[in-house]
């Protein structure tokens, strides 16, 4: 659906510190499902149910290994950008993992105070 003239959606808020923290975490899917993480963690901006081409704010990104994210280096897993329907069937909707990620980052920050 197009936005009314003169009423563009605001750009997603950037937060490089949050993205660094996300990339320092283990893959949320590997950890939750007892899988071995075979590649570095990347920050995934959720795409399911987004309803627009705009990227979600950095503060809502989740940690995924390459296997669960792009599947470029690790093809042993279901990658969300390659097989979104299979990923959703196996792991649920990607933005459901946002709160788990935010809680972990808050805990990390509390320990570093």
Query: Terminal CA-to-CA distance of the chain, rounded, Å?
Result: 44
> Under CATH, to which class is 16-111 assigned?
alpha beta
Where exactly are the structural domains of the chain? Answer: 16-111
> What is the reported pLDDT for 28?
97
C-alpha 83/C-alpha 81 separation (Å) is 6
> What is the reported pLDDT for 9?
53
37-84 pLDDT, tens digit per residue, is 999 999 999 888 766 667 788 999 999 999 999 999 899 999 999 999
The H-assigned helical ranges of 1-112 are 16-24, 28-33, 84-91, 98-111
User: Is the pTM value of this prediction over 0.85?
Assistant: no
> What is the reported pLDDT for 55?
78
Residue entry with tokens 């923290």? 21
Question: Residue 68 in contact with residue 27, Cβ under 8 Å?
Answer: yes
């Amino acid at each position: 659906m197009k936005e009314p003239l003169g009423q563009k959606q605001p750009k997603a808020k950037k937060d490089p510190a949050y993205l660094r923290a996300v990339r320092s975490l283990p893959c949320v899917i590997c950890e939750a499902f007892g899988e071995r993480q075979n590649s570095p963690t990347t920050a995934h901006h959720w795409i399911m149910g987004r309803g627009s081409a705009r990227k979600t704010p950095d503060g809502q990104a989740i940690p995924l290994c390459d296997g669960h994210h792009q599947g470029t280096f690790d093809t042993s897993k279901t990658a969300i950008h390659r097989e979104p329907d299979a990923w959703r069937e196996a792991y649920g909707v990607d933005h459901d993992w946002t709160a788990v990620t935010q809680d972990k980052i808050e805990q990390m920050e509390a320990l570093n105070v």
